[in-house]
Amino acid sequence: MSLKEEFATRNFSIYGQWLGILSMILCFALGIANIFTFRVVIMVFSGLCLASSFVILFVEVPLLLRICPTSSTFDAFIRRITTNYMRAAAYLVMALLQWLSLLGGASSLIAAAVFLTATACCYLLAGVKGQAFVGSKTLGGAGVAQMVV
């Protein structure tokens, strides 16, 4: 199935997965950009933003759990985030952390908060509509991991 065909299925979990990838890129870039400020609160939240980007990477690209050497505790934590509702909750927590960065003043971390919130909404809509989670083949879902082994 091509990327165009995946988007044509109107499954919100596919939209959520791709928004998650955009969120990961944004969290990584904004985390690095804001960590060099002189405001301690923003530095803490930018560190959390960086950590969120790596969590998102392992959640959205399941192939990496097989390739990268990680601890069994981390693997178990990531494998718990499989359903649409669990993904929505995880993204909502990460979004809430970034919304809380406003306590330290306005910064570009708001963009990460907006994208994380949009991703959580997509996964929540997929759960409410009863759509099963469908991983994008492009990102390592639906049998790609078995082809590597």
Domain ranges of the chain: 3-148
Q: At residue 131, does pLDDT exceed 70?
A: yes
- Global pTM value: 0.85
**What average pLDDT does this structure show over 96-105?**
92
Model confidence pLDDT, tens digit, residues 44-86: 999 999 999 999 999 988 788 888 888 889 888 888 888 899 9
Closest CA to 10 of 125, 103, 120, 143: 125
d(CA 63, CA 49): 22
Residue 10 vs residues 4, 105, 120, 130: alpha-carbon distances, Å: 11, 38, 16, 12
Scanning the structure block, which residue is given the tokens 């933003």?
49
Q: How far is CA 50 from the centre of its chain?
A: 12
Residue 134's pLDDT band (cuts 50, 70, 90): confident
